Amino acid sequence: MVGERSLNIGRSVIDSILSYAKAAYPREAILLLNGKSGRDGILINGVEIPPLASHGYGFADFPLHMLPIDFSVVGTAHSHPSGVLRPSIEDLNNFYGRIMVIAAFPYETEQDIAAYDDNGDQIRFRIIEDQ
Protein backbone atom coordinates (compact mmCIF):
# COMPACT_ATOMS: atom_id res chain seq x y z
CA MET A 1 0.00 0.00 0.00
CA VAL A 2 2.51 2.61 1.07
CA GLY A 3 5.29 0.89 -0.87
CA GLU A 4 8.41 2.98 -1.22
CA ARG A 5 6.69 6.16 -0.14
CA SER A 6 7.64 7.71 3.16
CA LEU A 7 5.70 7.71 6.41
CA ASN A 8 6.44 10.69 8.63
CA ILE A 9 4.94 11.05 12.10
CA GLY A 10 5.16 14.20 14.20
CA ARG A 11 6.92 13.98 17.57
CA SER A 12 3.78 15.27 19.35
CA VAL A 13 1.73 12.48 17.72
CA ILE A 14 4.12 9.83 19.07
CA ASP A 15 3.95 11.43 22.52
CA SER A 16 0.14 11.61 22.37
CA ILE A 17 -0.24 7.96 21.36
CA LEU A 18 2.09 6.79 24.15
CA SER A 19 0.43 9.02 26.78
CA TYR A 20 -3.10 8.01 25.79
CA ALA A 21 -2.20 4.31 25.80
CA LYS A 22 -0.53 4.65 29.20
CA ALA A 23 -3.60 6.44 30.63
CA ALA A 24 -5.97 3.72 29.34
CA TYR A 25 -3.83 0.82 30.60
CA PRO A 26 -4.76 -1.99 31.28
CA ARG A 27 -7.48 -1.37 28.71
CA GLU A 28 -6.82 -0.86 25.02
CA ALA A 29 -7.00 2.67 23.67
CA ILE A 30 -7.91 3.87 20.18
CA LEU A 31 -7.24 7.14 18.34
CA LEU A 32 -7.77 8.51 14.84
CA LEU A 33 -4.68 9.69 12.99
CA ASN A 34 -4.92 12.99 11.13
CA GLY A 35 -2.63 14.07 8.35
CA LYS A 36 -2.10 14.14 4.61
CA SER A 37 -1.57 11.41 2.06
CA GLY A 38 0.03 12.23 -1.25
CA ARG A 39 2.26 10.93 -4.01
CA ASP A 40 5.38 11.25 -1.90
CA GLY A 41 4.02 9.61 1.22
CA ILE A 42 1.97 10.09 4.31
CA LEU A 43 2.37 12.72 7.01
CA ILE A 44 0.66 12.15 10.36
CA ASN A 45 0.50 15.41 12.31
CA GLY A 46 -2.42 14.98 14.71
CA VAL A 47 -4.65 12.62 16.68
CA GLU A 48 -8.21 12.73 17.89
CA ILE A 49 -10.42 10.54 20.04
CA PRO A 50 -13.16 8.93 17.93
CA PRO A 51 -16.74 9.71 18.96
CA LEU A 52 -18.22 7.14 21.35
CA ALA A 53 -14.96 5.17 21.52
CA SER A 54 -15.01 2.19 23.86
CA HIS A 55 -11.88 0.95 25.59
CA GLY A 56 -11.96 -2.56 26.99
CA TYR A 57 -9.82 -5.46 28.08
CA GLY A 58 -8.61 -6.91 24.78
CA PHE A 59 -10.47 -4.51 22.48
CA ALA A 60 -10.97 -0.88 21.52
CA ASP A 61 -13.66 0.20 19.11
CA PHE A 62 -15.76 3.05 17.79
CA PRO A 63 -18.90 3.18 15.64
CA LEU A 64 -17.83 4.08 12.09
CA HIS A 65 -21.23 5.58 11.30
CA MET A 66 -20.63 8.27 13.96
CA LEU A 67 -17.54 9.66 12.21
CA PRO A 68 -18.04 12.93 10.38
CA ILE A 69 -16.70 13.12 6.85
CA ASP A 70 -13.10 14.12 7.43
CA PHE A 71 -10.54 13.54 4.69
CA SER A 72 -7.69 14.34 7.08
CA VAL A 73 -8.14 10.97 8.84
CA VAL A 74 -5.42 8.72 7.42
CA GLY A 75 -5.73 5.81 9.84
CA THR A 76 -5.96 4.66 13.43
CA ALA A 77 -3.68 4.07 16.37
CA HIS A 78 -4.45 1.66 19.16
CA SER A 79 -2.66 0.06 22.06
CA HIS A 80 -1.80 -3.51 22.92
CA PRO A 81 -1.54 -3.84 26.70
CA SER A 82 -0.21 -7.38 26.14
CA GLY A 83 3.03 -5.91 24.77
CA VAL A 84 2.63 -7.62 21.38
CA LEU A 85 3.70 -5.22 18.65
CA ARG A 86 1.95 -7.02 15.76
CA PRO A 87 -1.60 -6.62 14.45
CA SER A 88 -4.07 -9.37 15.28
CA ILE A 89 -6.48 -10.83 12.76
CA GLU A 90 -9.21 -8.68 14.35
CA ASP A 91 -7.02 -5.60 13.87
CA LEU A 92 -6.59 -6.36 10.17
CA ASN A 93 -10.29 -7.18 9.72
CA ASN A 94 -11.21 -3.79 11.22
CA PHE A 95 -8.54 -1.76 9.42
CA TYR A 96 -9.64 1.83 8.77
CA GLY A 97 -7.77 4.30 6.59
CA ARG A 98 -4.32 3.86 5.08
CA ILE A 99 -2.20 3.27 8.18
CA MET A 100 -2.52 1.39 11.45
CA VAL A 101 -0.22 2.33 14.31
CA ILE A 102 0.13 0.02 17.30
CA ALA A 103 1.62 1.02 20.64
CA ALA A 104 2.69 -1.87 22.87
CA PHE A 105 3.13 -1.91 26.63
CA PRO A 106 5.14 -0.37 28.41
CA TYR A 107 4.45 2.69 26.18
CA GLU A 108 7.76 4.40 27.01
CA THR A 109 9.49 5.29 23.72
CA GLU A 110 9.03 5.18 19.97
CA GLN A 111 10.51 1.66 20.15
CA ASP A 112 7.11 0.65 21.56
CA ILE A 113 5.34 1.82 18.38
CA ALA A 114 5.03 0.20 14.95
CA ALA A 115 3.07 1.10 11.79
CA TYR A 116 1.35 -1.31 9.39
CA ASP A 117 -0.46 -1.28 6.07
CA ASP A 118 -3.74 -3.06 5.38
CA ASN A 119 -1.90 -6.31 4.57
CA GLY A 120 -0.28 -6.35 8.00
CA ASP A 121 3.14 -5.49 6.59
CA GLN A 122 5.23 -3.30 8.84
CA ILE A 123 6.07 0.15 7.51
CA ARG A 124 9.13 2.08 8.54
CA PHE A 125 8.39 5.56 9.80
CA ARG A 126 10.40 8.63 10.54
CA ILE A 127 9.68 10.92 13.47
CA ILE A 128 9.73 14.56 12.53
CA GLU A 129 9.81 17.59 14.76
CA ASP A 130 6.53 19.50 14.89
CA GLN A 131 6.35 22.66 12.84
Query: Is 48 marked active-site?
Result: no
Rounded to an integer, what is the distance from CA 79 to the centroid of its chain? 8
Q: Around 74, how many Cα atoms within 13 Å sit in the side-chain half-sphere? A: 24
Catalytic residue among 4, 28, 48, 110: 28
Instruction: Name the CA dihedral angle for 76, 106, 11, 3, rounded to a multiple of 10 degrees.
Output: -50
Q: Bin 103: left if φ > 0, else alpha if -120 < ψ < 50, else beta.
A: beta
For the beta carbon of residue 116, count every other beta carbon within 10 angstroms. 22
Catalytic residues, which ones? 28
